[in-house]
Amino acid sequence: TEIYTLSLHDALPIYDLPVRAAMPDPLVTDDGKTITTPEQWQQRREQMKQIIEHYAIGHAPPPPGNVTGHERQSKMLTNGVSYRLIHLTFGPGEKLGFDISIFLPAETKGIKAPFPVIVQPSFSAISENPPPPVTNAIAAGTNSAPAKRPPAYHTVITPEAAAKQYTQALNRGYAVVTFYYQDCGADGRDFRPTGFFPAYPGYDWADLAAWAWGMSRCVDYLERQNFADKSKFIAVGHSRLGKAVLVAGAFDERFALCAPAGSGCGGTGAYRFNGQGRGGREGLEDIAKNFPQWTIPRLAEFSGQVEKLPFDQHWLIDLVAPRVFIAPDGLNDTSASVNALVQSYLAAKPAYALLGVPDHLGINFRPGKHMLVPEDWTAILDFSDQQLRKLDVKRRFDQLPPAETPP
Ligand code: GCU
């Protein structure tokens, strides 16, 4: 059978792009060819990646190929969990690097290395000596000096406190690797001189791609560790870090499972169903204006004309196929629209079906708001046990939520 040769996408300027109210079909190319075989899908996939890089996230540099790890600390925590702090070094002249924290489960009769490994970019840095929590002295009425606030999205917690957050995963035999996301690139308008960016001046990437690239550098290191099951790297992140996890899962095929939680606009929520006049909640116009560091300026040009986007976010979900994908979300999440995720999920289904893995695509809605809660972890781990480890887990991950309720 003939395999279509897909021409590279001629990146059209935005004013030349056709208006498409419907979600652009991943299984139909711009020149009208229908994708019907896994071989054709492989080619289409490359084209889809180029379109997303060109219009939304920019181009990340290739893997640096020189990641090394140096142990800075190692100790046993309670319940037989072991902790290691490793500093990764890589990049041109080995000038880049960041710390990663590794938590390994206790080995018992049922739990033995190699372990599936969760890679999670985090809002918290891990340190033995976190600074005392900042209290608002004015509000407390104890001091007339203005209260000092830590920078946004930066907390410091102990290894013990971090391990507690991973109790379920560790008890179920999963290792967890985590790092502080802004070590890869600052989460602010003035991000260019920070993190990885100065080392790669020729690249137009932005924060979501850089945070995802940091996750891939963790995998570079983990691939050489005996404790890691190389067939079971799992990407987990919440909110803006869910958006980054979606990019990591879409572009780095070493992630066997991709689980962006509460990722909303710029994540699993379709742009066509997010924002003013399109179902509410945060839309492309809002993220372009408030968080220009996440994506490239070209995406902002679609403000007020999202129907011209040649893709939508279901494409990123489909790039994960035939690997495993789940979106765990809250029904009352004021940042992420339930319907925008449902629309992405429904539009992503045909590609998973074409590849013969309809069960590799999952969603899970629970009551509650914008937080990564224990129920989300249970859903991710149950889905992973069911689909990656092939354990007998009787649970469905294809249930659409009851009609969307206003926040
Ligand atoms: C803001 C932002 C969201 C993002 C969230 C978060 O609410 O508008 O897009 O997901 O922060 O990262 O917690």
Q: Which of 100-109, 123-132, 165-174, 370-379 has the lowest mean pLDDT?
A: 123-132
Q: Could you tell me if the CB of 84 is within 6 A of ligand 1? A: no
**Nearest CA residue ID for atom 2, ligand 1:** 335
d(CA 31, CA 25): 12
Closest residue (by CA) to atom 8 of ligand 1?
A: 335
- Distance from the CA of 291 to the center of ligand 1, in angstroms? 9
Distance CA 280, CA 274 (A): 6
Question: Between 129 and 171, where is the model more confident?
Answer: 171
The model's confidence at residue 78, banded by pLDDT at 50, 70 and 90, is very high
Cα of 32 vs centre of ligand 1, distance in Å, is: 36
Q: Check if the beta carbon of residue 55 is closer than 8 Å to that of residue 310.
A: yes
User: Is ligand 1 within 6 A of the CB of residue 120?
Assistant: no
The response to whether residue 214 sits with its C-beta less than 6 Å from ligand 1 reads: no
Residue 228 has pLDDT above 50, yes or no: yes
The CB of 239 under 6 Å from ligand 1? The reply is yes
Among the listed residues 11, 16, 36, the one whose alpha carbon sits nearest the alpha carbon of residue 26:
36
Residue 36 CA, ligand 1 centroid: distance in Å: 37
> C-alpha angle with apex 32: 314 to 269, nearest 5 degrees?
10
Sequence-ordered list of residues with C-beta below 8 angstroms from that of 404, at least 6 positions apart, any chain: 331, 337, 338, 339
Atom of ligand 1 nearest to the CA of 240: 12
d(CA 214, CA 99): 11
134: how many CB neighbours lie within 10 A of its CB? 11
Looking up tokens 């939680």, which residue turns up? 261
> 238 CB under 6 A from ligand 1?
no
Ligand 1 center from residue 38 Cα (angstroms): 36
| Pocket flag, ligand 1, residue 282 (CB < 6 Å) | yes
pLDDT at res. 135: 56
Q: Rounded mean pLDDT of the chain? A: 92
Within 8 A by CB and 6+ apart from 131, the residues are: 150, 156
Look at residues 39, 300, 21, 43 and name the one whose alpha carbon lies nearest to residue 31: 43
Q: How confident is the model over 37-62, as pLDDT tens digits? A: 999 999 999 999 999 999 999 999 99
Between the CA of 333 and the centroid of ligand 1 the distance, in Å, is: 11
Instruction: Calculate how far, in angstroms, residue 319's C-alpha sits from the geometric centre of ligand 1.
Output: 23
Q: Which structure tokens are listed for 282?
A: 């945060």
Tokens (6 digits) for 363: 């969603």
Half-sphere exposure of 293 (CA within 13 A, CB side): 19
Q: Measured between alpha carbons, how far is residue 240 from residues 153, 159, 279, 331 in Å?
A: 11, 23, 20, 18
Question: To test ligand 1's pocket by mutation, which of 123, 187, 240 has the most ligand atoms within 8 angstroms of CB?
Answer: 240
Give me the amino acid identity at 148. Answer: K
Query: What integer pLDDT is reported at residue 170 of this predicted model?
Result: 98
Residues 6 or more apart whose CB falls under 8 angstroms from that of 255 comprise 119, 215, 219, 233, 234, 235, 248, 249, 320, 323
SS3 172: coil
Give the tens place of pLDDT for each residue, 124-163. 999 998 877 655 544 444 445 555 555 668 899 999 999 9
Asked if residue 257 lies in contact with residue 169, where contact means CB atoms within 8 angstroms, the answer is: no
- Residues 187-204 have pLDDT tens digits of 999 999 999 999 999 999
Look at 285 and 2; give whichever has higher pLDDT: 285
Write out the two tokens for 91: 């990049």
In the numeric block, the tokens 């372990």 are attached to 115
Please give the backbone phi and psi of residue 292, each rounded to the nearest 5 degrees, phi first: -65, -15
pLDDT at 101: 98
CB 393 within 8 A of CB 382: yes
Contacts of 244 (CB under 8 A, 6+ apart): 121, 181, 207, 208, 211, 212, 215, 237
pLDDT score at 137: 46
Mark residue 31 as left, alpha or beta (left: phi above 0; alpha: psi -120 to 50; beta: remaining): alpha
Residue 286 in tokens: 């809002």
* Closest among 285, 274, 401, 380 to 327, alpha carbons compared: 380
